Amino acid sequence: MKHSRTFPRTLVAAAAVLVASAGLLAVHPPASRAQSASFDADDLFVSPKGSADAPGTESSPTTLASAITRITPGGTIYVRGGAYNLSQTVTIAPGNNGTSSARKELVAYPGETPVLNFSAMSEDSANRGLALNGSFWHVSGITVERAGDNGIFVGGSNNVIERTVTRFNRDTGLQISRIASSTPQSQWPSNNLVVSSESHDNADSDGEDADGFAAKLTVGSGNVFRYDVSHNNIDDGWDLYTKKDTGPIGPVTIEDSLAYGNGTLSDGTQNSNGDRNGYKLGGSDIAVDHVIRRSIAYHNGKHGFTYNSNPGHMSVSGNVGIDNGQRNFSFDGGTSVFRDNASCRAGSSGTKDRIIGDADGSNQFWSGTNGSRCSSYAGALKWSFAADGSLRVSFGGQAPGHS
């Protein structure tokens, strides 16, 4: 029987299905009125043809930039569908905050898909698409494409980014990092949740920087990626890189997510400068105790899961690596704890996994032959998001979410 892997929002105990519990972490996406189409008087509406001085009603919409400066805590900006052709970064400035009990919401109008298109930008580190530098925002249902740098940049804290798509940007699709070099470490972005989002076909001209998702260099603690899919980016699927100049970052959690085909764009383009890993979990021999669990690395160009010179005490559990270009699991140092992981290959050729740390018999790492679990991961990969945002993955021709 082929395998279906479903990642729902509640814990389900089943031998053939590996699932996640949303109760494991304190950060959850808020309920959005966008799904109920119930509008309040203080909500604002924007459209591709909106006017900056318009009141922002449903019949007289304003612009995105104008609405961002006008919305009050607890209010919602509804973004009508269609293409927004933009040439400058859309910035949610520091201090433009919601509260823990009244977030500011930036969401797609129910049933519509807004696309922020920045193709007019040149490739430049200053040319981001949407810069979320405020805190306590909820961004949902928006596609950001073709920015000159990151599609979505998150420099604020306590935000939820949900059901977004970042594609064809000229650096990492969605990146969490400090706002500026002058930002003190106490203000590095923390406690952000990226959930049920997709990032693909991001590529810089040098071919070595554009990942799908990144929380790297300068991030605080509590940042979480859940139910996310990163595929066909020119560099890595996820990048948690650290460097000596800025030191360790806060521990990041990646759970119930999927990385596949990274290192090769959807049109077949590759670049030898790219690292091409599924999940790159460190850098520069700096110890950070990240958590990665119940996630899949499939057919990435180099390693599936790599410590990348992170000698920390990471928790690596319930993951599956399948037919990655070199090792499915590559951990050459550190004291990480490995439980219930599986490593699989379609044939007898490939590079054996390298595991240094605390690994017990619950793992099935690849040393030349497949373990018993690998029969469940044969065949074509399929994935989809369920109505509740959970990620469903299947192998062998079945529809995602069915055993």
One domain for residues 60 and 199:
no
206, part of any domain: yes
Beta strands in 169-221 (DSSP E): 174-176, 193-195, 198-200, 213-215
One domain for residues 57 and 80:
yes
Phi then psi for 258, rounded to 5 degrees?
Answer: -140, 130
pLDDT digits (tens, 9 = 90+) for 49-65: 999 999 999 999 999 99
One domain for residues 230 and 370:
yes
Confidence (pTM): 0.92
One domain for residues 237 and 156:
no
Query: Is the CB of residue 397 less than 8 Å from the CB of residue 381?
Result: no
Domain count, the chain: 2
Give yes or no for residue 382 having a pLDDT over 80: yes
One domain for residues 155 and 199:
no
pLDDT at 269: 97
Report the percentage of the chain scoring pLDDT > 70. Answer: 89
pLDDT at 8: 42
What is the CATH number for 211?
Answer: 2.160.20.10
Q: How many helices (H) and strands (E) does the chain have?
A: 1, 35
One domain for residues 343 and 233:
yes
* C-alpha–C-alpha distance, residues 385 and 109, integer Å: 19
pLDDT at 1: 39
One domain for residues 167 and 180:
no
Reported as a pLDDT band with limits 50, 70 and 90, residue 38 is confident
| Torsion of Cα atoms, 80 then 82 then 86 then 89, to 10° | 50
Which residues constitute the domain of residue 147?
A: 41-121+129-171
pLDDT digits (tens, 9 = 90+) for 128-163: 999 999 999 999 999 999 999 999 999 999 999 999
Q: What does the DSSP assignment read for 81-142?
A: SEEEE-SS-EEE-TT----SSS-EEEEEPTT--EEEE-TTSPS-TT--SEEE-SSSEEEES-
HEC secondary structure over 231-277: ECCCCCCEECCCECCCECCCCEEEECCEEECCCECCCCCECCCCCCC
35, part of any domain: no
29 vs 260, higher pLDDT? 260
One domain for residues 157 and 270:
no
Closest CA to 65 of 42, 39, 91, 37: 91
Beta strands in 4-101 (DSSP E): 4-7, 44-46, 76-79, 82-85, 90-92
Which residues, listed in sequence order, are joined to residue 318 by a DSSP beta bridge? Answer: none
For residue 153, the one-letter residue type is F
In what side-by-side order are the strands of the sheet with 130-132?
90-92, 130-132, 152-154, 174-176, 213-215, 238-239, 279-280, 305-306, 329-331, 354-355
Reported as a pLDDT band with limits 50, 70 and 90, residue 261 is very high
Closest CA to 219 of 197, 198, 239, 199: 239
Catalytic member of 2, 104, 243, 280: 280
For residue 348, the one-letter residue type is S
CA angle 325, 176, 392 (to 5 degrees): 55
- In order of 134, 224, 283, the CA distances from 93 in angstroms are 6, 22, 30
25 vs 329, higher pLDDT? 329
pLDDT digits (tens, 9 = 90+) for 351-372: 999 999 999 999 999 999 999 9
Give yes or no for residue 210 having a pLDDT over 80: yes
280 is catalytic: yes
The residue to which tokens 């997510």 are assigned: 257
Closest CA to 63 of 83, 49, 76: 49
24, part of any domain: no
* C-alpha–C-alpha distance, residues 121 and 125, integer Å: 11
Helix (H) or strand (E) holding 322: strand 320-322
One domain for residues 165 and 197:
no
